[in-house]
Amino acid sequence: MNIATWLARAGRTHPDRPAIAHGPALYQTYGTLADRAARLAAGLAALGLAAGDRVALAATNCPQYIECLFGIWWGGFTAVPANAKLHGGELAWMIEDAGATVCLATATQAQAIDTHRPDGLAHLIEIGTADYGRLFSDEGGALASVSPEALAWLFYTSGTTGRPKGAMITHRNIVAMTFGYLADVDPTAPGDAILHSAPMSHGSGCYIPPHVCRAALNVVPESGGFEPDEIFRLIEARPGTSMFAAPTMIKRMVAHPADFDPAGLRTLIWGGAPMYVEDVRQAVDRFGPRLAEIYGQGETPMTGTVLSKAMIADRDHPRWLQRIGSAGIANSACEVMIADADDKPLPAGEIGELLVRGDCVVPGYWNNPDATAAALRGGWLHTGDVGVMDEDGFVTLKDRSKDMIISGGSNIYPREVEEVLLTHPAIREVSVIGRPDPDWGEIVVAYVVGEAGAADLDQLCLDRIARFKRPKDYVFVDRLPKNNYGKILKTALRESDGARAKETGNGTG
């Protein structure tokens, strides 16, 4: 089924029900949103798009984001949402790789893309302009009939190869994610709301469809992002509001001095990175029994394991501390398994790789059959995350087999940063690792062999990649640890960095 069917139903049955709010003010009803989505679909078709064609969406959080997303789906097209924090060159590469001929973008992103505009991008349309308005000038088109296996969302998730991979999220995947969310994570009723303070191009955006399915309200902060004062005001004004957040955001909310009454908060969901047990305890103390955790990757969007509100609130359980340090149990939409190197299931208590199987798992990567075969061998998604399952089915993540860094809930891949640094003529070698950090989870640290200064390297990164990916510390060394085959030993580097950080207080420069 086409997931835009949920919007068509809500627009027909509940046309006056609030669909989108911008801050405290109503922005669109479901009748208006359905009409706008249908008109946008017709406008995109008039640009020459056919079913399955990709439409890039490079936008900060804004109320128009939702009509763009559902307008793309209404016409049977594929959305390619992009992280608005990416560098223009990175956005352009993504658009080119997806083969998108149309891009809808907010002002700053449109300008950045235009500077690096790929040849195949025929239409770069800034949201909110007259050109954008003209996309809605025709009568709305009929809701496209699409297969459940049709591509709905092309999600670019970086890999250890340095270049992002496009996880092909189908309509079936989003249906499974939606039902898993409503069953296990956050049961939602009409009149409830979801507050999008995290990027709508990623996790928070994945929770738009469940709320449209229930004809509930999507709220976009006026700031477009995360401002604790604003978040608290909006939650208190609308009882029954949920929010998805990275652990860093929750820590800031806990530490904020505002006199906040959490009674209006339905569910505060975290994901993207683990939370320390002490941080969970403090959050429960501040907000009460309203926290839930999810684990999922772009390849199984927001669906893998879940630690429910009831589990987190159950302080009397004899293993409560262990449970709130876990990633929870399998979501109802999938199976999970801890496997050995031969993909055989391991018994409770043994460490192995976390595998996921179910309708939530993508069929593969865009134009990348080798990566697809490696990730989905045997019918299971190989997450690359190492964990252990206890006898009650709770999964605790131990480490990542990949070298991905998670900083403030954002994924950063070392090789991507290393390749940029190595373009400096004075740099001979470099290795990028993550350093544990109490506020961000991890920060990016670059170990460098060469004579360049930190300021020069910082500017190089700012010119080439997103600001959040640049190293927070540069450590200049004479040599990097290597094995007999000349491969840099990141494990040894992380160990020595930990010792160095203890010696210097925090190790940052």
Please give the pLDDT value at position 486: 61
Nearest to 289 by CA among 324, 248, 257: 324
C-alpha atoms less than 13 angstroms from C-alpha of 290 in its C-beta half-sphere: 22
Lookup result for tokens 């049961």? 187
Instruction: Quote the tokens at residue 266.
Output: 């339905």
Residue 370: the pLDDT is 95
Show the low-confidence residues of the chain (pLDDT under 70). 158-162, 399-402, 483-486, 505-509
Task: Identify residue 286 by its one-letter amino acid code.
Answer: R
What pLDDT is attached to residue 508?
A: 44
Q: Would you tell me how many other CB atoms lie within 10 Å of the CB of residue 143?
A: 19
User: How many CB atoms are located within 10 Å of the residue 40 CB?
Assistant: 28
pLDDT of residue 401: 60
Query: 357, 173 in Cβ contact below 8 A?
Result: no
Architecture of domain 405-504: 2-Layer Sandwich (3.30)
pLDDT at 503: 77
**H or E, element range at 441:** strand 441-450
Instruction: With both helix axes pointing from N to C terminus, report the angle between 414-421 and 454-464 in degrees, rounded to the nearest 10.
Output: 110
Residue-level pLDDT at 411:
79
| Topology of domain 335-400, CATH | Luciferase; domain 3 (2.30.38)
Query: Same topology for domains 28-146 and 335-400, yes or no?
Result: no
CA–CA separation, 25 and 296 (whole Å): 32
**pLDDT score recorded for residue 223:** 96
Work out whether strand 151-158 and strand 164-170 pair parallel, antiparallel, or are unpaired.
Answer: antiparallel
The pLDDT, as a whole number, for residue 278 is 86
CA distance 307 to 302: 13
Query: Computed from CA positions of residues 126, 128, 131, 135, in that sequence, does the dihedral angle turn out positive or negative?
Result: positive
Residue 485: the pLDDT is 47
Give CATH for domain 28-146: 3.40.50.980
414-445: per-residue pLDDT in tens? 878 887 998 899 998 899 999 999 999 999 99
- Extents of the domains making up the chain: 28-146, 335-400, 405-504
Write down the pLDDT at residue 505: 67
